[in-house]
Amino acid sequence: MSRGLFWFRRDLRLADNPALERACRSHDALLLVYVDEAADAGFDASRAWLRRSLDALAVDVARIGGRLHVLAGDAEQVIPALAAATGAEAVHVSALHEPDADARDARLARALARGGVVLRRSAGRLMTDPEMVLSKVSTPYRVFTPFLKAARPGWRYRPRAAPRRLACFGLPEGMQRLQATLAAPAPDWDRGFWETWTPGERAAQQRLERFLEHLDDYPGQRDRPAIDATSRLSPHLHFGEISPARALDAALRRGGPGTDKFVAELGWREFGYYVLNHWPHSTTDNFNPRFDGIAWRRDEAALEAWRRGRTGVPLVDAGMRQLWHEGWMHNRVRMVVASYLSKHIGIHWASGAAWFMHTLVDADLANNTLGWQWVAGSGVDAAPYHRVFNPVTQSRRFDPEGVYLRRWLPELRRLDDDRIHAPWEKGGAPRGYPSRPIVDLAEGRAEALQRLARASD
């Protein structure tokens, strides 16, 4: 009888999971595990998501006869020990496509091989193999549009069904002490998350179906933060509760005028991983070295005001409060808050990126880095530095009636549609809200441009 170990990571689903399908095909029985390696680390919003996602997966697994074991420990120790104790012939995983994690897999594969066990990695988190998509001169693309054109023909469409049954065996005696459950955050920071979100494969599929009903409106409405016009699939995709191939396939079958735009956004996700794989240092270093000379400001009070939604700029504050309450922020507003921090206030983009990684349920190293470097102007195919988002213009354009602002800023609820975008301009801000922006918009813009000019001297 052939035994295999299936190690769930960021592929917390049963359907269209090539690694799981391969494991089921290769063995008579499987041991299904998730290894929690962050039990002692600080609590991030995405961990609250993970906790519920694992619960949902355990239920789905049980429904088809299997059992999921959540263990705590260092996977580099736990996985080889489990393989040895169970006599597993292979360990199956989905590739993570993050350079550090991939390097670790390589180490783990060597350790397992010493005991005669094979690590089998399958694709499934991405549709693009970063190594296969290169320009005519065999260099990686730095610009999104040619990347998409080259990558898209290789994307796989036909998602596979979930296994009908899972034949599983249990944890060996000596390993039961590793079993763990993820603790909830204290105090209950995540309470607001669940007004909006339901983690898990079923919820992901339902969200996709609901979104597709309105796909035609996506191009016209996707920039309006008050309207639920985007898919909100990002945390589901991050944790692999749904595969990008399934989202792509469903959108293509649905068809209509929103399809190309949605497919392009899935393409940005692919591009984020592509950039991370070709330029791993971009998580910490400016992609464009011209930015290394920028004299960033260090201002803990301003950073804290930004984090807490107390800058005095309504669209920025609304976004930061949505982030804290829901663990998510609309893409248009992500761009605006990132621009206000890195350009008007002048704080290094990495400080903002770190706060996003802490507070987003969809916190994703590749896409967060791409987003921050894009806005800051220091990244691949980035917005030009001199194009500084004006948060008031953005607010008037994309939330003209102030619906989004009123939802997140109760202090401003009574202001009329004209005043609410910039209360300091006419009549002042109501009590309880900062009387003016912590950094004036015109001065902040001018200083940002000077900072870049000085860095280029």
Which of residues 169 and 385 has its CB atom nearest to ligand FAD in the complex?
385
Q: How far is the CB of 305 from ligand FAD (least distance, A)?
A: 18
Note whether 224 binds ligand FAD by CB under 6 A: no
∠ CA 66-71-72 to the nearest 5 degrees?
Answer: 165
Which residue lies nearest ligand FAD, judged by its C-beta?
A: 371
Sheet holding 90-94, edge to edge: 68-72, 29-36, 3-8, 90-94, 118-122
Q: Which of 194, 268, 324, 355 is catalytic?
A: 268
- Residue 331 bears catalytic tag: yes
Buried b (16+ CB within 10 A) or exposed e, 165-204: ebebbebeeebeebeeebeebeeebbeebeeebebbbebb
Query: Site for ligand FAD (CB under 6 A): which residue of 10, 69, 92, 232?
Result: 232
Return the SS3 of 159. coil
Q: How far is the CB of 263 from ligand FAD (least distance, A)?
A: 9
Largest distance between two CA atoms of the chain? 78
- Residue 296 bears catalytic tag: yes
- Residue 87 backbone phi and psi in degrees, to 5: 70, 25
Query: Site for ligand FAD (CB under 6 A): which residue of 233, 315, 323, 341?
Result: 233
Choose the stretch contacting ligand FAD; rule: CB under 6 A; options: 125-133, 160-168, 228-236, 442-450: 228-236
Residue 65 neighbours by CB under 8 Å, 6+ apart:
165, 166, 167, 168
- Residue 349 bears catalytic tag: yes
Among 227, 189, 255, CA closest to 401: 227
Note whether 429 binds ligand FAD by CB under 6 A: no
155: part of which helix (H) or strand (E)? Answer: none
Q: How far is the CB of 369 from ligand FAD (least distance, A)?
A: 8
Q: How far apart are the first and last CA of the chain?
A: 70
Tell me how far apart the alpha carbons of residues 75 and 234 are, in angstroms, rounded to a whole number: 26
Structure token digits, residue 347: 């704080």
Q: How far is the CB of 336 from ligand FAD (least distance, A)?
A: 9
- Residue 268 bears catalytic tag: yes
Which of residues 6 and 197 has its CB atom nearest to ligand FAD in the complex?
197
260 has binding-site annotation: no
Note whether 367 binds ligand FAD by CB under 6 A: yes
Return the active site residues: 265, 268, 296, 331, 349, 372
> Residues marked as binding?
218, 230-234, 262, 362-364
> Residues marked as binding for FAD?
218, 230-234, 262, 362-364
Give the footprint of ligand FAD on this chain (CB under 6 A). Answer: 222, 230-234, 237-238, 265-266, 268-269, 272, 331, 334-335, 338, 356, 360, 362-364, 367-368, 370-372, 375
